[in-house]
Structure 1
Amino acid sequence: MPKTPPQCPMDSILRLLMGPWTTYIIWVLSDQGPQRFGALKRAVPGISTRMLTERLRMLQGAGVIWREQEQTIPPAVTYGLTSRGNDLRGVLDTLGHIAERWKDEGVFAEDELGTV
């Protein structure tokens, strides 16, 4: 008997997406196109600079977003979805539609999940 169970092929991608703010960042880049860091921070209300930087680095490392830095003072940094990030658009749109329907059906009680 193996010491660890075989990993579901979707496990890694779900772990990537489960990180705080991750799907919101991908959604903003999908909906609004490439964004400079400051504009992206304004588009994701409530996220700290540190958390946004951490999430962007993680998504870039996974090949979900690209980062382009212009050699200006101060540096202008722009982020956008890669082809891998664009692969997620349809899946996230589908999950969003399901979430809206389930919310309307009362599946997500505010006292169980916090703000919905």
Structure 2
Amino acid sequence: MATTARRGPYFCGLDAAMDVVSGKWKSLILWELREHGVRRFAQLRRGLPGVSEKMLVQQLREMEEDGLVHREVYPEVPPRVEYTLTGEGVSLNAALEALGEWGVERMRRIGAEKVVHVAS
């Protein structure tokens, strides 16, 4: 699937990258898929406490348009839909790792607690 530019023209590479991960949930969706691989919608929602169904649908659609997430619909009754990272999503996660490490260090520095949740 071809990627789409929502805003363009871009001023720099960081501008283009932020266009694809802008918003609270996209980077967390990427991380959830990185940690668990294949996920169904309900599993993603449980793994992201606080996200509304409407927001998750919107974010997943945008990420699919941007070529970060693959949505597989199985012809079953009831329908089964699974989400996985594409190669581009995997490479974006690799780029976000350093930012995540910086965030962990910042949490330590400012005394913020890490939120731990278990998603099945």
Q: Please, what TM-score do these two structures have when normalized by structure 1?
A: 0.82
Matched with 2:12 is 8
Match of 2:32 among 19, 28, 31: 28
Distance 2:56 2:65 in 1: 14
Q: Identify the structure with bigger relative contact order (alpha carbons < 8 Å, sequence gap 6+).
A: 2
Matched with 1:111 is none
Task: Name the aligned partner's letter for residue 99 of structure 1.
Answer: G
CA RMSD of aligned residues (A): 1.9
CA deviation after TM superposition for structure 1 residue 71, in Å: 1.1
Q: Unmatched 5+ residue regions in structure 2?
A: 1-8, 113-120
Distance 1:107 1:42 in 2: 27
Q: Does 1:42 align with 2:31?
A: no
Task: Name the aligned partner's letter for residue 45 of structure 1.
Answer: P
Q: Please, what TM-score do these two structures have when normalized by structure 2?
A: 0.79
Percent identity between the aligned chains?
33
Match of 1:102 among 95, 100, 106: 106
Task: Name the aligned partner's letter for residue 10 of structure 1.
Answer: L
Match of 2:22 among 6, 18, 21: 18
Secondary structure at 2:70 match in 1: strand
Distance 2:10 2:88 in 1: 25
Q: Does 1:77 align with 2:91?
A: no
CA deviation after TM superposition for structure 1 residue 33, in Å: 0.5
